[in-house]
Chain A
Amino acid sequence: MANNDKLIGDALALAACGLLGAAAPTRSHAAEPDGKWAIDTAVLYYGESDGRVKDASLSALAIREFGDDRKLSLDLTVDTLTGASPSGAIASDLPQTFTSPSGRATYTTPAGEIPLDSSFHDTRVALNAAWSQPFARLYTFNAGVGASSEFDYQHIGANAGFTRDFNQRNTTLNLALAYGVDKVKPVGGVPIPFATMGDAVNEEDGNVAGRAGDSEDKNVLDVLVGFTQVLGRHSLLRVNYSYSDSSGYLTDPYKILSVVDPVTGEPLSRTPPPGVSGPSGIFLFEGRPDSRRRQSLYSELRQDFSGKVLQLSYRYSTDDWEIDSHTLEGRLRVPLGESGYLEPHLRYYTQSAASFYRYSLAGGAPLPEFASADARLADLDAYTIGLKYGHETSRGNEWSARLEYYQQAGKAPAETLIGNQPGSVQMPDFSAVILQFSYHFNL
């Protein structure tokens, strides 16, 4: 069973990575020898608090220059996910039982705790290849392809773009396009939106209730228009506008909503028939719109202060799901001695809830057209604080380590709360630790 957290627009992340990777990435290290492969490797551990998601990944990026500024880059990432994530159901004063996504088993949540999907384990592999080369003196062209696979999700995408320099290469305009197709094949089949979570059914007893079909597709188109401007000997500004259009199956097939008493806001109870295990309440599968159009504006300033580099960025994003977000990020690279550096990092993120985000649904009330209790679509604030240390060896190789702490806190908009809920809202806030070791070398 896959990590729900990966499913939501995984293609988008990879398309974004693809856009990033397609432009023949430059590495963070000193003079790369020509005619050799420059290899960056990283091992990363991500761990959330309270038995939630843990991820370990291994990545490798290899870049080869072929003379006259032609570049090939290849990257591979393998990661393993374990742990539980919130299902969207709300906490209750009583223990709760849910049918697992496969529809074949059940799991329980203790009283007073936010229900988490039962633990799972999944491995994902992602591959990207990109090529870039100049054509005519002031233009470079780039193109790339990428694919990723985990047992219930597959993605394939392609991207292309070009850059054009102006003003003695002080201004660079870039344009890029990425297109991706994803296929999701949820365990137990694709749930029908707002279908009720049914009792657990054994293999021999037939199909899982409330499912329609084995798999669904989604397409994502990304367009980026941006420019990079040299402001002075010591500073650089980049501004990007992106537009993203997703269509198809955008719902998370594993997320549910609790149905609550319309007056008190307490989760409704239910008893499964004798001899059968199943949900202890009324839970409906979520349903999201089949289209999402998003625009964002990203700006980044890089400023050198006699060898120290400050990087400051701000991104504003808005979409037709009414999720508006602001991201503010800063990094300061401080050289230490001849071959080391220290880089503190701060990030602040805030978003407003999707128009169809609901904390829970009121029993007996007409169903909205779309609804999701996924905390990632709620109002939320997140902070990251981190530190990176890097060191270049005498042979020109570099290793680095970074440690980051991430904290996320959500809020359910008041209008989505029912009855007595305002006094007892429990959002699945969490904190996570990110630890990464990287090593760069030439082959």
Chain B
Amino acid sequence: MTKLPTLLTLLVCAALCGCANVGVKPWEREVLAREDMRPDANPLDAALDDHIYFSKEGTSGGRGFGGGGCGCN
């Protein structure tokens, strides 16, 4: 149970520190802006699946939301 918090801290730090140079310029988001590249595409399918797997297995959820996309505004 204690392995995850350490992993989490590492990941969050990596994200905020190490990722400053990773990414694309604001005008290079044409592919990321496509609906099929959005991480939250298909919310209905995802919710239906989550419900089925939750009812039939011992674990659930984890997907979260936000990010990606056209990066506009």
CA distance A354 to B58 in the complex (A): 9
Which residues of A, 208-260, contact B by the 8 Å Cβ criterion?
A: 222, 224-234, 236, 238-242, 244
Q: Determine if A238 and B31 form an interchain contact, defined as CB atoms under 8 angstroms apart.
A: no
CA distance A102 to B20 in the complex (A): 61
Which residues of A, 49-69, contact B by the 8 Å Cβ criterion?
A: 57, 59, 61, 68-69
Contact-residue size bin, chain A (C-beta under 8 Å from the other chain)? 35 or more
Other-chain contact of A349, B12, B41, B51, B57 (Cβ < 8 Å): B57
Other-chain contact of A318, B4, B19, B26, B31 (Cβ < 8 Å): B4
Given known A-B contacts A25-B43, A169-B26, A222 and B37 have beta carbons under 8 A apart: no
**Interface-central residue, B4, B24, B41, B44, by most chain A CB under 10 Å:** B44
Q: Determine if A13 and B8 form an interchain contact, defined as CB atoms under 8 angstroms apart.
A: no
Kindly list chain A residues whose C-beta atoms are within 8 Å of the C-beta of B32.
230, 233, 236
The interface-forming segment of A106-114, A150-158, A292-300 is A292-300
Kindly list chain B residues whose C-beta atoms are within 8 Å of the C-beta of A134.
73
Given known A-B contacts A16-B50, A20-B43, A234-B31, A380 and B57 have beta carbons under 8 A apart: yes
CA distance A293 to B52 in the complex (A): 21
* Chain A nearest CB, measured from B12 CB (Å): 7
A320 within 8 A of B: yes
**Interface-central residue, B36, B59, B63, by most chain A CB under 10 Å:** B59
CA distance A23 to B50 in the complex (A): 16
CA distance A42 to B20 in the complex (A): 40
Given known A-B contacts A28-B41, A240-B63, A298-B63, A170 and B31 have beta carbons under 8 A apart: no
Other-chain contact of A232, B5, B24, B53 (Cβ < 8 Å): B24
Kindly list chain A residues whose C-beta atoms are within 8 Å of the C-beta of B43.
20-21, 25-27, 40, 61
Q: Determine if A317 and B40 form an interchain contact, defined as CB atoms under 8 angstroms apart.
A: no
Kindly list chain B residues whose C-beta atoms are within 8 Å of the C-beta of A121.
none
Q: Determine if B26 and A172 form an interchain contact, defined as CB atoms under 8 angstroms apart.
A: no
CA distance A13 to B56 in the complex (A): 11
Q: Determine if A170 and B56 form an interchain contact, defined as CB atoms under 8 angstroms apart.
A: no
**B23 — nearest CB in chain A belongs to which residue?**
A170
A394 within 8 A of B: no
A residues sitting closer than 8 Å to B (CB atoms) are: 3, 5-6, 8-10, 12-13, 15-17, 19-23, 25-30, 40, 42, 44, 46, 57, 59, 61, 68-69, 75, 77, 134, 137, 140, 142, 161, 163, 165-174, 176, 222, 224-234, 236, 238-242, 244, 293-298, 300, 302, 304, 309, 315, 317-320, 323, 325, 327, 333, 341, 349, 351, 354, 376-377, 380, 382, 402, 406, 408, 432, 434, 436, 438
A-B pairs with beta carbons under 8 Å apart, 22 shown? A5-B55, A13-B55, A21-B43, A27-B35, A28-B42, A40-B43, A134-B73, A167-B20, A167-B22, A230-B29, A232-B22, A232-B23, A233-B32, A236-B67, A238-B39, A238-B68, A298-B62, A304-B31, A325-B58, A351-B59, A406-B56, A408-B56
Apart from A13-B54, A325-B59, list 4 A-B contacts with CB within 8 A.
A26-B35, A26-B41, A28-B41, A170-B23
